[in-house]
Chains A and B, each alone.
Chain A
Amino acid sequence: MNLSWSSPVVAGEAFGRRVAELVEDLRRREDRFALVLSVLIGAAVGLVIVAFVLITGRLAARLYPVGGADWRRIAVPTVGSLVTGWLLVRFFPEARGSGIPQTRAAIFVNEGGISLRTVVGKFVCCVMSLSSGIALGREGPSVHIGAGIASVVSRRFGLSRAQVRWLIPVGASAALAAAFNTPIAAVLFSLEEIVGDLHAPILGSIVLSAVTSWMAMHLVLGNDPLFHVGAYQLVSSRELLAYVVLGIVGGLGSVGFVKLLLWLRLRFHALPHETLWFQPVAGGLTVGLLGFAVPQVLGVGYDQVDRVLGGNVVLSFVVILAVLKIVATAVCYASGNAGGIFGPSMFIGAMIGAAVGQVAHHAFPASTAGAGAYALVGMGTAFAGILRTPLTSVIMIFEVTRDYTIIVPLMTSNLIAFYISQRLQHEPIYEALARQDGIHLPTGRFREQGRHLRVNGAVREAPELLPVDETVGWALARSAATPLESWPVGDPVDFLGMVRVADLAAANPDATVRDVLDRTGGSTAEQGFPHVHGDHPLGQALAIMGRTRLSVLPVVSRANVRILLGVVTLADILAAYGVERAEEVPPDDMVRDD
């Protein structure tokens, strides 16, 4: 045993070297570091969003003190929008609007780039705007702020562009988890709306950041839920009819809101560019005048939603609130105020739901629940209708209530609203908003087209199998009749693999086809011969062709890969993509390999 003592200086140097090695290792392995960074981003974003919510609330309490004069309801939003309008034009031009289209643009257009100035601008402008009573929500801006923090931090760490891009939804989900207190819905929203792919490979990072952010938020704010909801109850199965009506009304209301907002925004865009800084005042003044008459129109209105969820409903009042909120939010957003439509969607949905529920309960008191239950489902309905994220909306309301019985009515009305919205307003709101800004984001339809291009759409009937125990000479003679280079091989029972004519030609004519198949690896059961299934994307078939140098792939059953269902050729795939017409060849003829 070496009993010599190393000096503290030497030990310190060794420790320093070890730390440097660890840092270097972490830097080199970006994928691992991204996971660590997801946790840090989650915590940072969660705490920033908590600060955002708290500061907004405190400022609003000072701008609208209890017992304050009525004129404040006109003056405060007007002045607030004037100040934020100037700030947005002068210092933070990229902080306008909701933040969700901007976040998506950062991923698909800017390679993950969101500047620190934009983050700060979004924070400052939204605090001023929302606390002054502008009828917009805090969730969209939170998403933008969260994504911006992720972008700034990851770029500061010198991560690759691809990693920076993937960390944007990580920041977005963390922000939504903290802003709306629904971590699962935040994860789904990031995948469904921000990334546009529920199977994105960053699921782990998104979940990590959402959970961390949610925990940070709970650590600071405690366990108080955003909405206080009583036990939900589906009184009878006949009540589902009322939820169908809610789906229809909610869908129509959603379409009306989206169309009004987009139309107004186009009108504001048509105004001279010099008026840009002044345009938000239109929103501030509108919401001020409406708020002077009905104070509940001011701000995001979660207090009012809470009251309605508690069953405190007067039919005429909730109908008026729904209409006024649609107008106020549309004008505020279209005129360029900073704030989102996530929260107002919830508000509008809750009011529509409460109105439908009140009518239903009045007509059929014994077989329907109170208006509060409908308000809750209405929130999800409007969310599905306006934002077109039906899965997120179901999970979000489920997370708010933590009540399984709400799922069926919620899905019923959500899907109806979603369908109506899809039929009457083809372009989803965030895509339409981005298009108005001249940004062409990947649309849902585009993604759907990609998903529909599957092997099944290009498959053709399989040719006769080459018997595996025949000689190579016989097989060559058989294949000489047609210009084939790849043939399926089988025994009387099973399909065994594909063999290339070139490999047969190079083999001993007295050898069997099985010998050639074994030698070329075409039938090695353990490794699996090259094949595709009918539901595989065509892109995957192309990738296999590239890897195996086969221009013909067998399409086999998922239940038994030894059952040959057909073949797919390179020419057929190209034709399916519209690149090249398939050659007019008989079904049992094969295309030669390149």
Chain B
Amino acid sequence: MTDPLRIVALHAQPSRASTFVSTFLGLVLFIVALFYVDTHIVRLEQRESLVRAARLYADGETLLVKGDASRASDRFASAAAIDRRNTRYALALIHAMVADGRRDDAERELDALLARAGNDGAVNLAKARMLAASDQADVAPVYYHRSIYGEWSADSIRARNDVRFELAELLATRHDSGAVLAELLPLEATLPDSAPMRRRLAHLFLAAGSPRRSVPILRALLRSNPKDADAYTGLGEAALAVGNFAVAHADLSEAQRLQPDDIRSATQLAIADSILVLDPRAKGLTFRQHAARASLLLTMVIGERERCAGQVPTGEVTNAARRLGKASAWMSPQTLTALAVQLWASRTTCVPSYVVNRALVLLLASME
């Protein structure tokens, strides 16, 4: 290395102009050729890598179906390491980690994924679901919205509608009617002509306390399938909600006839029956029947108040109700009904006895 003769030999005399130009051109050509060689190798490498990653992903899915979440995680992790841009692999890894009981690892992985793909709809949806399943459900709607307005690789309208449905259903379980309705209105405008989706929307409108919006959707479903028991149930529920108890009874009876095993329509029919038996405003009643129904209504309201008083102390209102109940024999049916409505209006919320309470709620709501 230190041989001076070698050093001198390495250093040639200054080049001639022709050598200079040829060296220059040779170097440029070398760079261009090298660029193409490199690009070719990279493409080859990428193609092979993508195939390898897809194989690992498929393996992982098979293992996950077999219940081997641990090995599935390994496969998904390898696939995600090879093709880092593919969020599907990373999401599968997170899913497998959760299935393997590694929730902390999954959360960390998901946060890292969010950091590099913060605008990805599917990634935000995964985060929203993780939050919804945890004790941070209040934060979940933020990520649902990021998912709705995020990027979706294919069929983005359908994906966004699905996310919005999921969010609306989450909000419905939290009885946040206003928020549910806020999600359903844009959904109604973009929803394709799909019976399952329309049905889902109609039921959510009912849950959001907007039965009138559900009726045309359910009627449209019945037009396309007159034996749609679920649509009859929905219509019955909508009719119950707006105080049209006779119609509700008819629709629910039809639903029961078409699908006798359906618990939902049976329950709603029982409610409708209760209301029809209880309603003091029903036409064709004799004075005696009218008075009996009014008295029964007042008794039920007082009973409900007393039941609730056992759970929640209500003080003077409950005592007043008792006094009124004792004096009811001397009152007219109209007065009794008015008293029942008045007493119901001042009630305190408590855990309901479903059918009776629901019947009372619907009936008295229609009288208010």
Contact = CB atoms under 8 A, between A and B. Distances in A.
Interface of A: 20, 23-24, 26-27, 40, 43-44, 47-48, 50-51, 54-55, 57-58, 66, 94, 102, 105, 109-113, 115, 153, 155-161, 164, 216, 219-221, 224, 228, 230-231, 303, 306, 310-311, 437-439
B65 interface: no
Contact of B1 (A23, A231, A439): A439
18 contacts: A44-B27, A51-B38, A51-B41, A110-B6, A110-B7, A111-B11, A112-B11, A113-B7, A153-B23, A157-B15, A157-B20, A157-B24, A158-B15, A158-B19, A221-B42, A228-B84, A231-B115, A439-B1
Contacts of B31: 40, 43-44, 47
Given A158-B19, A439-B2, A51 B11 contact: no
Given A51-B41, A66-B52, A439-B1, A155 B17 contact: no
A437 B2 CA distance: 11
The SS class assigned to the A binding surface is helix
Given A27-B20, A439-B2, A54 B38 contact: yes
A220 B35 CA distance: 7
B27 to A, nearest CB: 6
A40 B21 CA distance: 14
A246 B44 CA distance: 42
A47 B38 contact: yes
A375 to B, nearest CB: 15
B198 to A, nearest CB: 44
A47 B31 CA distance: 7
A370 to B, nearest CB: 8
Contact of A158 (B7, B13, B34, B37): B13
B47 interface: no
Contacts of A113: 6-7, 10-11
A158 B12 contact: yes
A508 to B, nearest CB: 56
Contacts, number: 101
B356 interface: no
Nearest to A93: B1
Contacts of B27: 40, 44, 153
Contacts of B111: 230
A311 B23 contact: no
A51 B37 CA distance: 8
B14 interface: yes
B1 A156 contact: no
Chain B interface bracket (under 10, 10 to 19, 20 to 34, 35 or more): 35 or more
Nearest to B39: A220
B35 to A, nearest CB: 6
A44 B32 CA distance: 9
A593 B24 CA distance: 53
Contacts of B19: 156, 158
Contacts of A157: 15, 20, 23-24
B366 to A, nearest CB: 57
A20 B42 contact: no
A94 B6 CA distance: 13
Contacts of B1: 94, 102, 105, 109-110, 437, 439
Contacts of B41: 51, 54-55, 58
| 9 nearest A-B residue pairs (beta carbon) | A158-B15, A113-B10, A158-B14, A47-B34, A220-B38, A54-B41, A156-B23, A50-B38, A43-B31
A303 B81 contact: yes
Contacts of A439: 1-2
B50 to A, nearest CB: 14
A105 B45 CA distance: 36
B30 interface: yes
A323 to B, nearest CB: 25
Contacts of A160: 14
B112 interface: yes
Given A54-B38, A55-B41, A57-B45, A40 B28 contact: yes
